[in-house]
Structure 1
Amino acid sequence: MRMLSLLPLLAVSLFGAGCSSHDARPLPRPASVDVPRFMGDWYVIAHIPSWPERDAFDAVESYALRPDGRIQTTFTYRKGSFDAPRKSMHPVGRVEKEGAGAIWGMQFVWPIQAEYVIAWLDDDYTQVIVARSKRDYVWYMARTPQVSATDYAQAVERIAAMGYDTHLLRRVPQSVRTPDR
């Protein structure tokens, strides 16, 4: 019973609290997101990390549509080095009715859902910025483990324009090998 009462506190500490710039502007987002096209692997290039991801190496977020319409998510990473064993988390996403596919609820611990906003997506679905209205966490991801210096600099500019403190942004070390899952 005591453990159940600690679950909401755990979820808030992992995913609901962080440094927030208190920017009241709504986040930008694409006019629509083709959710099936969005599925697949996304390498985390940079982030303002939640507590579990703060020392992540080889971080990959993978999405798959479930028969019930929800999104099975698998976040894999190595903690602290390229040689560390692979860890994973398995939240379930739900595309919200409003937002044309760009607003999701991501559930790590029942019954708490974290906001997940696709704030920028390139036309080719090869790079994305996922953000939160609180401006506490952000993820810049790509379909490849590496991006050009120009693409990275443009992503940092976009993240800053959204109201984030980019001094908190962490570049995620990615090896060039394919993740072994």
Structure 2
Amino acid sequence: MKTLFKSLFAAIALVINSLSVTTRAETVTPQAVNQVDIQKYAGKWYEIAHLPMYFQRKCVSNITAQYSVNADQTIRVLNSCRIANGEMISSEGVAYSQNQGNSKLKVSFLPTGLRWIPLTKGDYWVLRVDPEYKVALVGGPSNKYLWILSREPQLDEATYQSYLDTAKHYGYDVTKLIKLPH
């Protein structure tokens, strides 16, 4: 009887282990696209969905990001949203390219004089962007942050699902995505 339990336990452990290996094999570490044309990427983007994060806790609708290229080739970032009392709030930052393809950026929203402080910049990786620069998936090397962005305030369901599939492939928990109205 003792041998039967040991064999049964070993079989269950093997099944559980193979399931976890299968799950891990289905996802890969997030990878930024090879190249982003910053001039095409610049402009206004509407946030379609995001993973919960502290910085967006007050936003209830109309989340947008406006990007423009500075003279020094850094990128001005202006994030805006509507809060519960109806007021629009915004936060201005700067993004610094971390690779030749401009697809991996570090972003800081600290005041200009404090941006030199180490470990105060967040990852902003373009994980997927369509050829016309109308839809983008943005995250980072961890699965902590994720945004689905569109040039239009609404995104058709098929396109949205396609970008969700990409996020899932990279291991993001898309069940936690927050979609707010525009």
TM-score, normalized by length of structure 2?
0.76
| Higher alpha-carbon deviation: 137-146 or 151-160 | 151-160
The alpha carbon displacement at 1:73 in A equals 0.6
Structure 1 segments of 4+ aligned residues over 3 angstroms from their partners: none
Residue 29 of structure 1 aligns with which residue? 32
Residue 101 of structure 1 aligns with which residue? 102
The alpha carbon displacement at 1:156 in A equals 1.3
> Which is greater in Rg?
2
The alpha carbon displacement at 1:89 in A equals 0.5
Residue 157 of structure 1 aligns with which residue? 165
The alpha carbon displacement at 1:50 in A equals 1.9
The alpha carbon displacement at 1:25 in A equals 4.4
Question: Size of the alignment, in residue pairs?
Answer: 149
Share of identical aligned residues, percent? 22
Change (3 A) 1:119 1:54: same
5+ long unaligned stretches in structure 2: 1-26
TM-score, normalized by length of structure 1?
0.77
Residue 89 of structure 1 aligns with which residue? 91
The alpha carbon displacement at 1:94 in A equals 0.8
Residue 11 of structure 1 aligns with which residue? none
5+ long unaligned stretches in structure 1: 1-23, 175-181
Which residue of 49, 53, 56 maps to 1:53?
Answer: 56
d(CA) in 1 for partners of 2:144, 2:103: 18
Change (3 A) 1:49 1:99: farther
Higher helix share: 2
Note the 1:1-181 alignment, pairs <5 A.
25-56=28-59, 57-80=61-84, 84-96=86-98, 98-109=99-110, 110=115, 111=117, 112-174=120-182
Kindly provide the CA deviation profile for residues 12-44 of structure 1, in whole angstroms up to 9, marking residues without a partner as x: xxxxxxxxxxxx943223221111111000000
Aligned with 1:171: secondary structure?
coil
RMSD over equivalenced CA pairs, Å: 1.8
- 8 Å Cα contact 2:47-2:149 kept in structure 1: yes
d(CA) in 1 for partners of 2:31, 2:44: 23
